[in-house]
Structure 1
Amino acid sequence: AIRRDDLAAFYERGFGPRGMVIAVVGAVEADRAVEQVEAAFGEWEGSTFPRQPLPPAPRPTTVRRKFVPISGKTQTDIVLGVPGPARTDPAFLDALVCNTILGVFGMMGRLGERVRDEQGLAYYSYSRVEGGHGPGPWTVIAGVNPANVERALESIRAEIRRICREPVPEPELADSQAFLVGSLPLRLETNEGVARAILEMEQYDLGLDYLQRYADLIREITPERVLAAAQRWLDPDAYVLAIAGPP
């Protein structure tokens, strides 16, 4: 069993100021901000914990399915996932655009249009891709009537299969690119949003001019690159599936 002493020892070995990034944004003078950071963290000693590169995440080769019964629920929630790209992967933005088409743009992309709007199989259905220093999860999430679980899963798999087989039409790609470019200013409306952007640029070595280059990076992505990203990470026949709902 894990004890308190084990956690404390791991903290002492694994947590330290080395590599830490602090972003300060707002109505504060730079010198004063530095003073406060030094006062709070100046005596924090470094950790000797070795930092090893994260290994590639093993890809599912079949469907791994887990059902968790929850009494009292009337809705079944589905999460289907695969290991996705690291944020530092050169094709991360390709995957981001692919995911936007699959389950974000408009009323949650193709998934929202087909699974929810056209077929009425889900209360909501969308997808999300996340990346850190190592591979992050690429997931599809849906809330459905328990009677519609299998039909909803088939519809989700059909959309994954389609995006893995067919190049995205240029107008559909352009819509998602415009959405990603246009939503950037909204992410920078608050101090927190600006701080998060600075943190991301520093953590993943994107360069301090990343926001200036972002629109061009998104607009230069082609249907072929979207298809390659889908084929690299998504598979309609190999994924991990978690289902929670009424027994």
Structure 2
Amino acid sequence: MNKNKNYTFIRERMKYLKLTDRLLKIASLVDKDKKIADIGTDHGYIPVYLLNKNIINYAILGDINKGPLENAKKEVVRNNLSDKVDLRLGSGIEVLKPNEVDQIIIAGMGGVLINDILKANEPVAHSAEKLILQPMQSPEELRKFLYKNGYEILDEYLVREEHRLYEIIVCRYRDLEPSQIDSIYYEVGQKLIEKNDPLIKDFIENKIRINKNILNKLEGKEGSVVEERKAIVSKKIEDLNSLLSR
């Protein structure tokens, strides 16, 4: 391999090394030739990757903070993609109009914040053909919101990155009646169980460990509030073990 080819190879490889396993999985869930919005885009790695791969040809990159949006702009310019990108400063999906994009990515935020973002501009959230959501905390609150507010969960995925398992929820608004489901499926996505995700066993076992630790910390403490908390956590452990034995 001559020096020019070697340099090109290294440059291409470094370009995609910016995408972690979590981000690569999110990117893989975007359908070809769709207009997308990446909300809370940070450095814009996902849309830049998708544009470079010719999977999409247009993206809106939104962030509430100027710093991350400037970082995204630098990444866009570095990759000669300015004509395919619209950078927007603002809160959540309030930077979008209904039907302006086909698919929306909201990743790297807490589940409660994602709920607030979806509620803040329902016409946009409801018009998207696909929402790709990746909560960093409180995924159970996000699932509860989706089930109770007319959304259909199309699929879910687990991704291991270093020592952590991340949850990704793919959904769309369908104006469904609020779903009454077993509360354990707020903790563990029903789709993950149905398709027996390769990481589901590790995922459930980790949740059991976390809840057993909570129970251990409550030992020796008294009071009605403590007893109620113990009962809730014990029931959760029981339900998680039931899922594990299926």
TM-score of the two chains, using structure 1 as the length reference = 0.26
Query: Quick one: higher RCO (CA 8 Å, sep 6+), 1 or 2?
Result: 1
Find the structure with the greater CA-based Rg.
Answer: 1
